[in-house]
Amino acid sequence: MTYGQIRDAALKLLGQYSLGDAPIPRTYNEQGDDLRRIPELVDDAMWIIASGPRRIHAAKPLERLPERDRGGMMCCSLPQNLMEIVPGGLLVLEEGEPRYESGFVRCDEGHILLPRTRGEVWLEYYRRPRACVDAIAPGQTEPCDEYDLDNIPDAHRAVPYYVAAQLALRQDETVHAALLRQWQELLHRLAPLPQPRRHLIGDVYGGMTP
């Protein structure tokens, strides 16, 4: 879904989208204040979804930083959008033989140490969602209506309920509670079924088999 679709859906849940057949103007009541809050509320909802119910999978080769190596350990920089490393998610490709590396140390938020290798190191991880507020043009208060939200479409359907619930908090506690329940129910439905993890194992011929 796009930002404009999410915003309009949230306003419709609150009955603040139109009067008669005409969209409610931004100057009506607190409409302008609500519209300025929506981008950050959308980002809050997307963060909650990506941190648990529907994570965003990513993989990329790591950049080496030889000047930060320590003893027999080499240093690599971590992606800036890293949220969490997938268990078993460090893959080393050395001389055509892939292997998972578990003996690594995350020395700080942006760097990782692992045993020295000449091969390419790939990280499988869950990333942060793109932020709507980063897409706001100078002089504007929200992204363009056509801005596509991050994550999968199923995740987007829950977002208007979170946005509407937070907007209703200062106005009507009953409406806020009802919308929050719907948001939580949709979060529960988003949770994926457990999936078995695949690992590389050595076979009797010295090769690797998934």
* Domain end residue (candidates: 128, 152, 180): 128
3-state per-residue secondary structure call for the chain: CEHHHHHHHHHHHCCCCEECCEECCCCCCCHHHHHHHHHHHHHHHHHHHHCCCCCEEEEEECEECHHHCECCEEEEECCCCEEEEEEEEEEEEECCEEEECCCCEEEECCEEEEECCCCEEEEEEEECCCCHHHHCCCCCCCCCCCCECCCCHHHHCCHHHHHHHHHHCCCCHHHHHHHHHHHHHHHHHHCCCCCCCCCCEECCCCCEEC
* β-sheet bridge partners, residue 124: 59
Q: What is the pLDDT along the chain (210 residues), one digit of tens a residue?
A: 999 999 999 998 988 654 455 555 555 556 678 889 999 999 999 999 999 889 999 999 999 999 999 988 999 999 999 999 998 879 999 887 888 888 899 888 899 999 998 889 999 999 999 999 999 999 999 999 999 999 999 999 999 999 999 999 888 899 999 999 999 999 999 877 555 555 555 544 455 445
Please tell me the total count of domains within the chain: 2
Same domain, 73 and 117: yes
Residue among 1, 8, 13 at smallest CA distance from 165: 13
Q: What are phi and psi of 203, to 5 degrees?
A: -100, 180
Is 175 within the bounds of a domain? yes
CA separation for the pair 88, 200 (Å, rounded): 10
Answer yes or no: are the C-beta atoms of 143 and 6 closer than 8 Å: no
Same domain, 61 and 116: yes
Same domain, 124 and 154: no
pLDDT of residue 78: 96
39 lies in which domain range?
A: 3-54+129-190
Is 195 within the bounds of a domain? no
* Domain end residue (candidates: 89, 107, 128): 128
Is 179 within the bounds of a domain? yes
Same domain, 115 and 136: no
Is 210 within the bounds of a domain? no
Same domain, 60 and 45: no
The CB density around residue 98, as the number of other CB atoms within 10 Å, is 14
Is 205 within the bounds of a domain? no
For the entire predicted model, the pTM comes to 0.81
Same domain, 137 and 103: no
Same domain, 86 and 99: yes
Same domain, 82 and 103: yes
pLDDT of residue 23: 57
Answer yes or no: are the C-beta atoms of 74 and 64 closer than 8 Å: yes
The CB density around residue 114, as the number of other CB atoms within 10 Å, is 19
